[in-house]
Amino acid sequence: MKRILPLPFQTERGGLIILLAMIHILGDSLTAGNLGIPYTGFLAPHYAVSIDGKDGDTLLGALDRFQAHQEPKDTQILVVEIGANDVLLPHVGSRSSEWAQAVGAMIDSGSRPTPQPQQFAFFYKQLLNKAQERGYQLVLLTIPPLGENLALPPNPQRMVLNHQIRILSQRPNTVLVDVALEFEKQLQRREQASDWLFPHPQDFILDKRRMRREGGTAKLCQERQLLLTMDGAHLNETGAKIMGNLLSEGIEKILRITSSH
């Protein structure tokens, strides 16, 4: 049964009408925010946000989580930030036996990659259909670069999946937040891009330790010559701020669409 959600609440601050929203964010490690700087910290402060992010998760894993999720009453908007690991897990899993073991453990936990475009589009559409059956308005995020050198794998495959997300965003009551496009513009301005993309599974543990030290994230970025991320995928403050601001704009856009109905 389709659940009819209420229109956005409104309040007035300083002569401006502010649209308030109840938002659920479904995503991977960028949404979980356990490594790097979480973009959710840069969302507009008047949103009520529930965060469901899982490190290493894929589209199929997110679909499973969403189907099992009992959303709070009055949640209006579903933000979908997923797809990076559908490309990344097969890529790093072929690097070494250590990576193959780490990726195998993630797959066993439910993070099963779907790297083929048609299959990815099928399950992504299934997720969106289930969300709209529940009455959600949708905000879809494209997949940011995986490694800041856009010419190196796995970025070409990521771009193919982003094409599918852009096509699927053309449905009613849906807004696209093209994080990938903005990040790519930023990276294309650089004369030389860094090839760093966490060479070893142990890098995650070591990076977490270094992040706890004063200036740890900034030092990692400087050493690795990274602009938007701390390791090629997880965001530094610059990347998190861009992503959070873009998502806030997307949420405001879907709220305006909702309030005009």
The string of pLDDT tens digits covering residues 141-169 is 999 999 999 999 999 999 999 999 999 99
**228 in Cβ contact with 183 (< 8 Å):** yes
Q: Please report the domains of the chain, with CATH numbers, ordered by start residue.
A: 9-259 (3.40.50.1110)
Is residue 1 scored above 80 in pLDDT? no
Identity of the amino acid at 53 = G
Over residues 37-51, the mean pLDDT reads 91
Q: Residue 261: pLDDT band by 50, 70, 90 thresholds? A: low
In whole angstroms, give the CA distance from residue 35 to residue 231.
Answer: 10
Q: Is the pLDDT confidence value at 223 over 70?
A: yes
CA distance 230 to 238: 10
> What pLDDT is recorded for position 23?
93
Query: What is the pLDDT at residue 126?
Result: 98
CA 18 to chain centre: 25
Average pLDDT over residues 204-221: 86
Q: How many CB atoms lie within 10 A of CB 190?
A: 12
- Please say if the pLDDT value at position 233 is more than 70: yes
Q: Give the pLDDT of residue 35.
A: 92
Residue 213 has a pLDDT of 79
Residue 82 has pLDDT above 90, yes or no: yes
CA distances from 254 to 23, 57, 177 (A): 11, 26, 11
Integer angstrom CA distances of residue 31 from 54, 156, 203: 7, 23, 19
The Cα 18–Cα 78 span in angstroms is: 19
Question: What confidence tier does 248 reach under pLDDT thresholds 50, 70, 90?
Answer: very high
DSSP letter string over 30-81? Answer: HHH-SSS--GGGGS-TTEEEEEEE-TT--HHHHHHHHHH--PPTT--EEEEE
Stretch 25-49: mean pLDDT, rounded? 93
pLDDT at 170 over 50: yes
Percentage of residues of the chain with pLDDT beyond 70: 90
Average pLDDT over residues 223-251: 97
Confidence of residue 21 (pLDDT cuts 50, 70, 90): confident
Per-residue pLDDT, averaged over 127-133, amounts to: 96
**Element spanning 259, H or E:** helix 237-259
Residue-level pLDDT at 47:
86
Query: In this predicted structure, what is the pLDDT of residue 81?
Result: 98
Query: How confident is the prediction for the chain on average, in pLDDT?
Result: 90
